[in-house]
Amino acid sequence: MRTVFLPMFPLRLVAFPGELLNLHIFEPRYKQLINECEANGTTFGIPAYFDDKVQDIGTEIEVVSIDKRYPKGEMDIRTRGVGLLKILEFFPKIENRLYTGAEVERLTYDTEGEFVGYERILGHLGELYRVMDIKKPLPEHTPDFNTYQIAHLVGFSIEQEYEMLCIPEEIGRQEYMLRHLEQLLPTAREMEELRKKVQMNGHFKNLLPPVV
Protein backbone atom coordinates (compact mmCIF):
# COMPACT_ATOMS: atom_id res chain seq x y z
CA MET A 1 0.00 0.00 0.00
CA ARG A 2 1.51 3.32 -1.12
CA THR A 3 0.80 6.29 1.10
CA VAL A 4 1.41 10.01 0.69
CA PHE A 5 1.42 12.99 3.02
CA LEU A 6 -1.07 15.76 2.23
CA PRO A 7 -1.98 19.04 3.93
CA MET A 8 -5.48 18.89 5.36
CA PHE A 9 -8.27 21.49 5.13
CA PRO A 10 -11.15 20.06 7.24
CA LEU A 11 -14.52 21.67 6.50
CA ARG A 12 -18.10 21.21 7.68
CA LEU A 13 -19.05 19.92 4.26
CA VAL A 14 -18.45 16.95 1.97
CA ALA A 15 -16.49 17.58 -1.22
CA PHE A 16 -16.81 15.06 -4.06
CA PRO A 17 -14.45 13.98 -6.84
CA GLY A 18 -15.01 16.15 -9.88
CA GLU A 19 -16.70 18.88 -7.84
CA LEU A 20 -15.77 22.50 -8.53
CA LEU A 21 -15.59 24.26 -5.18
CA ASN A 22 -15.03 27.99 -4.74
CA LEU A 23 -13.51 29.03 -1.42
CA HIS A 24 -12.70 32.29 0.32
CA ILE A 25 -9.43 31.76 2.21
CA PHE A 26 -8.91 34.02 5.22
CA GLU A 27 -7.33 32.04 8.09
CA PRO A 28 -3.50 32.29 8.29
CA ARG A 29 -3.05 28.51 8.33
CA TYR A 30 -5.03 28.03 5.13
CA LYS A 31 -3.47 31.02 3.42
CA GLN A 32 -0.15 29.28 4.04
CA LEU A 33 -1.53 25.96 2.77
CA ILE A 34 -2.91 27.40 -0.47
CA ASN A 35 0.19 29.49 -1.18
CA GLU A 36 2.36 26.39 -0.82
CA CYS A 37 0.09 24.29 -3.02
CA GLU A 38 0.16 26.99 -5.70
CA ALA A 39 3.93 27.41 -5.52
CA ASN A 40 4.67 23.67 -5.58
CA GLY A 41 1.82 22.43 -7.78
CA THR A 42 0.66 20.11 -5.01
CA THR A 43 -2.76 19.03 -3.79
CA PHE A 44 -4.44 18.97 -0.39
CA GLY A 45 -7.27 17.06 1.27
CA ILE A 46 -10.73 18.13 2.38
CA PRO A 47 -12.08 15.71 4.96
CA ALA A 48 -15.57 16.39 6.31
CA TYR A 49 -15.78 17.56 9.91
CA PHE A 50 -18.87 16.66 11.92
CA ASP A 51 -19.72 14.98 15.22
CA ASP A 52 -16.74 16.93 16.62
CA LYS A 53 -14.18 15.00 14.61
CA VAL A 54 -12.40 14.80 11.27
CA GLN A 55 -13.83 11.90 9.25
CA ASP A 56 -11.57 9.21 7.78
CA ILE A 57 -12.62 9.50 4.11
CA GLY A 58 -12.08 12.71 2.20
CA THR A 59 -11.44 14.17 -1.22
CA GLU A 60 -8.11 15.19 -2.72
CA ILE A 61 -8.29 18.72 -4.06
CA GLU A 62 -6.28 20.70 -6.60
CA VAL A 63 -6.11 24.48 -6.86
CA VAL A 64 -7.49 25.48 -10.27
CA SER A 65 -6.97 29.23 -9.94
CA ILE A 66 -6.60 32.06 -7.49
CA ASP A 67 -9.12 34.58 -8.74
CA LYS A 68 -8.48 37.40 -6.30
CA ARG A 69 -5.92 38.35 -3.67
CA TYR A 70 -6.78 40.84 -0.94
CA PRO A 71 -4.40 43.30 0.75
CA LYS A 72 -4.21 41.22 3.94
CA GLY A 73 -3.48 37.97 2.09
CA GLU A 74 -7.02 36.65 1.83
CA MET A 75 -7.87 34.84 -1.41
CA ASP A 76 -10.80 33.77 -3.54
CA ILE A 77 -9.87 30.45 -5.10
CA ARG A 78 -11.34 27.85 -7.42
CA THR A 79 -10.65 24.21 -6.70
CA ARG A 80 -11.57 20.79 -8.12
CA GLY A 81 -11.89 17.39 -6.50
CA VAL A 82 -9.47 14.95 -8.12
CA GLY A 83 -9.87 11.77 -6.10
CA LEU A 84 -10.77 9.96 -2.91
CA LEU A 85 -8.49 9.46 0.06
CA LYS A 86 -8.46 7.61 3.35
CA ILE A 87 -6.73 9.17 6.35
CA LEU A 88 -4.40 6.67 7.98
CA GLU A 89 -2.87 9.06 10.52
CA PHE A 90 -3.93 12.64 11.21
CA PHE A 91 -1.36 15.16 12.46
CA PRO A 92 -2.90 18.15 14.31
CA LYS A 93 0.52 19.82 14.42
CA ILE A 94 3.25 19.90 11.76
CA GLU A 95 6.68 21.39 12.35
CA ASN A 96 7.04 24.87 10.83
CA ARG A 97 3.48 24.78 9.47
CA LEU A 98 0.26 26.32 10.70
CA TYR A 99 -2.06 23.81 9.02
CA THR A 100 -2.80 20.17 9.82
CA GLY A 101 -1.81 17.20 7.69
CA ALA A 102 -2.30 13.48 7.27
CA GLU A 103 -0.72 10.35 5.92
CA VAL A 104 -3.28 9.12 3.40
CA GLU A 105 -4.02 6.31 1.01
CA ARG A 106 -5.51 7.23 -2.36
CA LEU A 107 -8.64 5.16 -2.98
CA THR A 108 -10.01 3.76 -6.22
CA TYR A 109 -13.57 4.45 -7.30
CA ASP A 110 -15.65 4.39 -10.49
CA THR A 111 -18.22 6.72 -12.03
CA GLU A 112 -20.00 4.40 -14.48
CA GLY A 113 -23.55 3.62 -13.45
CA GLU A 114 -26.65 2.17 -15.06
CA PHE A 115 -28.55 4.29 -17.59
CA VAL A 116 -31.93 3.33 -16.14
CA GLY A 117 -30.72 4.23 -12.66
CA TYR A 118 -29.82 7.75 -13.78
CA GLU A 119 -33.20 8.14 -15.50
CA ARG A 120 -35.01 7.14 -12.30
CA ILE A 121 -32.89 9.47 -10.18
CA LEU A 122 -33.50 12.44 -12.47
CA GLY A 123 -37.21 11.60 -12.64
CA HIS A 124 -37.46 11.61 -8.83
CA LEU A 125 -35.41 14.80 -8.63
CA GLY A 126 -37.72 16.48 -11.14
CA GLU A 127 -40.72 15.46 -9.04
CA LEU A 128 -39.02 16.81 -5.91
CA TYR A 129 -38.36 20.13 -7.64
CA ARG A 130 -42.00 20.31 -8.77
CA VAL A 131 -43.44 19.51 -5.35
CA MET A 132 -41.13 21.96 -3.59
CA ASP A 133 -41.60 24.62 -6.29
CA ILE A 134 -37.87 24.82 -7.02
CA LYS A 135 -37.37 26.91 -10.15
CA LYS A 136 -34.10 25.58 -11.51
CA PRO A 137 -33.29 23.35 -14.47
CA LEU A 138 -32.57 19.70 -13.92
CA PRO A 139 -29.02 18.50 -14.58
CA GLU A 140 -28.60 17.00 -18.04
CA HIS A 141 -28.04 13.28 -18.46
CA THR A 142 -24.80 13.64 -20.43
CA PRO A 143 -22.42 10.74 -21.19
CA ASP A 144 -20.19 11.71 -18.24
CA PHE A 145 -23.07 12.23 -15.80
CA ASN A 146 -22.65 10.65 -12.36
CA THR A 147 -24.11 10.85 -8.86
CA TYR A 148 -21.29 13.03 -7.53
CA GLN A 149 -22.61 15.87 -9.71
CA ILE A 150 -25.98 16.04 -7.94
CA ALA A 151 -25.10 14.87 -4.44
CA HIS A 152 -25.67 18.39 -3.05
CA LEU A 153 -29.05 18.74 -4.83
CA VAL A 154 -31.10 15.86 -3.45
CA GLY A 155 -31.61 16.94 0.17
CA PHE A 156 -28.89 14.87 1.82
CA SER A 157 -27.69 15.76 5.31
CA ILE A 158 -23.92 16.06 5.72
CA GLU A 159 -23.93 12.59 7.29
CA GLN A 160 -25.73 11.15 4.27
CA GLU A 161 -23.36 12.89 1.86
CA TYR A 162 -20.48 11.35 3.77
CA GLU A 163 -22.05 7.89 3.65
CA MET A 164 -22.35 8.26 -0.13
CA LEU A 165 -18.74 9.43 -0.39
CA CYS A 166 -17.69 6.18 1.30
CA ILE A 167 -19.32 4.06 -1.45
CA PRO A 168 -16.66 3.41 -4.12
CA GLU A 169 -18.96 1.89 -6.77
CA GLU A 170 -21.22 4.16 -8.83
CA ILE A 171 -24.01 1.56 -8.94
CA GLY A 172 -23.96 1.47 -5.14
CA ARG A 173 -24.19 5.26 -5.03
CA GLN A 174 -27.11 5.17 -7.47
CA GLU A 175 -28.96 2.74 -5.21
CA TYR A 176 -28.21 4.85 -2.14
CA MET A 177 -29.50 8.02 -3.83
CA LEU A 178 -32.63 6.29 -5.16
CA ARG A 179 -33.52 4.96 -1.70
CA HIS A 180 -33.13 8.44 -0.27
CA LEU A 181 -35.31 10.10 -2.92
CA GLU A 182 -37.98 7.40 -2.63
CA GLN A 183 -38.14 8.02 1.13
CA LEU A 184 -38.04 11.82 0.78
CA LEU A 185 -40.72 12.29 -1.87
CA PRO A 186 -43.74 11.15 0.21
CA THR A 187 -42.72 13.58 2.97
CA ALA A 188 -42.31 16.39 0.43
CA ARG A 189 -45.77 15.65 -1.02
CA GLU A 190 -47.31 15.73 2.46
CA MET A 191 -45.65 19.08 3.13
CA GLU A 192 -47.03 20.41 -0.16
CA GLU A 193 -50.54 19.26 0.80
CA LEU A 194 -50.11 20.94 4.19
CA ARG A 195 -48.97 24.15 2.50
CA LYS A 196 -52.05 24.13 0.26
CA LYS A 197 -54.34 23.58 3.26
CA VAL A 198 -52.77 26.46 5.13
CA GLN A 199 -53.15 28.73 2.10
CA MET A 200 -56.85 27.79 1.77
CA ASN A 201 -57.60 28.53 5.42
CA GLY A 202 -60.10 31.42 5.64
CA HIS A 203 -61.26 31.13 2.01
CA PHE A 204 -64.94 30.63 1.19
CA LYS A 205 -65.43 26.96 0.45
CA ASN A 206 -68.00 25.51 -1.89
CA LEU A 207 -68.40 22.04 -0.41
CA LEU A 208 -71.02 19.37 -1.00
CA PRO A 209 -72.33 18.22 2.38
CA PRO A 210 -72.58 14.48 2.92
CA VAL A 211 -75.98 12.82 2.94
CA VAL A 212 -76.64 11.82 6.57
Q: How do residues 189-203 score in pLDDT, each as one tens digit? A: 888 776 666 555 544
DSSP state of 139: P
Q: Please state the pTM of the whole predicted model.
A: 0.87
Whether 46 and 90 map to the same domain: the answer is yes
User: Is the residue at 208 inside a domain?
Assistant: no
Whether 43 and 123 map to the same domain: the answer is no
**Tell me, what's the pLDDT at 133?**
85
DSSP state of 148: G
Whether 65 and 130 map to the same domain: the answer is no
**Tell me, what's the pLDDT at 204?**
45
Whether 132 and 100 map to the same domain: the answer is no
Beta bridge partners of 62: 80
- Report how far residue 96's alpha carbon sits from residue 93's, in angstroms, rounded to the nearest whole number: 9
- Report how far residue 185's alpha carbon sits from residue 81's, in angstroms, rounded to the nearest whole number: 30
**Tell me, what's the pLDDT at 188?**
85
User: Is the residue at 72 inside a domain?
Assistant: yes
User: Is the residue at 15 inside a domain?
Assistant: yes
pLDDT by 10s per residue, the chain, length 212: 689 999 999 999 999 999 999 999 999 999 999 999 999 999 999 999 999 999 999 999 999 999 999 999 999 999 999 999 999 999 999 999 999 999 999 999 999 999 999 999 999 999 999 888 888 899 999 999 999 999 999 999 999 999 999 999 999 999 999 999 999 999 888 887 766 665 555 444 444 555 54
Regarding beta strands 20-25 and 75-91, do their DSSP bridges make them parallel or antiparallel, or are they unpaired?
antiparallel
Whether 12 and 31 map to the same domain: the answer is yes
- Report how far residue 120's alpha carbon sits from residue 128's, in angstroms, rounded to the nearest whole number: 12
**Tell me, what's the pLDDT at 193?**
78
- Report how far residue 133's alpha carbon sits from residue 160's, in angstroms, rounded to the nearest whole number: 23
The count of structural domains within the chain is 2
Which CATH number covers residue 102?
Answer: 2.30.130.40
User: Is the residue at 131 inside a domain?
Assistant: yes
Whether 83 and 170 map to the same domain: the answer is no
Question: What is the residue range of 92's domain?
Answer: 3-107
